[in-house]
Structure 1
Amino acid sequence: MKLYSIHTKQKLPISIDTAWIFFSDPKNLNAITPDSMKFITLSGDDKKMFSGQIIHYKISPFPFITMQWVTEITHVDDKKFFVDEQRFGPYSFWHHKHFFTETEDGILMEDIVHYKVPFGIVGQMFHPIIVRPKLEEIFAFRKQKLTELFGAL
């Protein structure tokens, strides 16, 4: 089994309270997801994030390919971190940790994702040419969008 990971960090000039209000609201996921993904929340975004919350999305990672994705918020430590895990969707495994650390001039936001692609050796062959670049594109968009919304340090 090949397990991949992505680790990103971003500093934002906002308070921990502002960060938590924004990131703990599942409705804000759409704002930080590229339009090309055609991201739509189908259910589960009607409450502020909590452990055990199930969120159901529809996404289109590539033209003419639409799929559903179901995640569960498995851990929440108010204003410190939360974890989402895929229950059904495009990956064989998806575990995404979101950390928020208060700093002198704002916050440090850190994402650590561990994931496994489906389809065995075929999936592993496509990982460096399709999957990894797509994930990097999504996180680059997210960084740019958060800078537009909150500024940069």
Structure 2
Amino acid sequence: MITITLKTHIKAPIQTVFDISRDITEHEASSKNTREKAIAGVTSGKINLGETVTWRAKHFGVYIKHTSLISEMESPTFFVDEMVEGVFKSLRHEHIFKEVDNATDMTDIFNYEVPYGIFGRVFNYFILKSYLTKFLHERNQHIKQRAEISNLTG
């Protein structure tokens, strides 16, 4: 199991950050480089506990599909999306939100297993882990920007 952990400090209320983090349209906006598009399940608005979304995106020049289930949720502090169908052997993404001094600390714990044995592990070591870290960081910066603008404009 490979783990990527990212922490982002956001100057916005916890509920705002939580809601933007599970908003399908915001996710699409944050991943324009990969042309991520919700094509089945929840395709707009906020995804909730027990709901699924199927994404179509272009990674490494190839279009792939990935279906996630929101398997756990405790508003506004926590939710988990888990892959139910896709290219990984397994994938679990924990989203944790904590109020700190009129702001929110957002933590991502992204756990995954690669398929294809030694070839998958080598690909992960040299390319995939840094690619996924960058992808998550860009998404988090989008969430931060949207939440902080929302907080300023009220």
* Length-normalised TM-score, structure 1: 0.89
Structure 1 residue matching 2:129: 3-state secondary structure: helix
SS at match of 2:33: helix
- Give, in angstroms, the shift of residue 16 of structure 1: 1.3
Maintained 8 Å contact 1:98/1:112: yes
- Once the two structures are superposed, what CA deviation does each residue of 1:101-136 show, in whole Å capped at 9, x if it has no partner? 011130000000110001011100111122112102
Does the 8 Å CA contact 1:25/1:45 hold for their aligned counterparts? no
Match of 1:114 in 2: 111
Find the counterpart in structure 1 of residue 136 from structure 2. Answer: 139
Q: Give 1:138 deviation, angstroms.
A: 0.2
SS in 2 for 1:118: coil
Give the Cα–Cα distance (whole angstroms) in 2 for the partners of residues 14 and 148 of structure 1: 10
2:96 counterpart residue number: 99
Taking a change above 3 Å as real, the CA distance of residues 31 and 47 of structure 1, as seen in their structure-2 partners, is: closer
Equivalent-residue separation in structure 2 for 1:147 and 1:113 (angstroms): 18
Q: Is the 8 A contact 2:56 2:64 kept in 1?
A: yes
Q: TM-score, normalised by structure 2?
A: 0.88
Q: Indicate yes or no: 2:120 matched with 1:123.
A: yes
Q: Say what the alpha-carbon RMSD is for the aligned residues.
A: 1.7
Aligned-residue identity in percent = 23
> How many residues get paired?
148
Provide structure 1 residue ranges, at least 5 long, that are not aligned to the other structure.
none
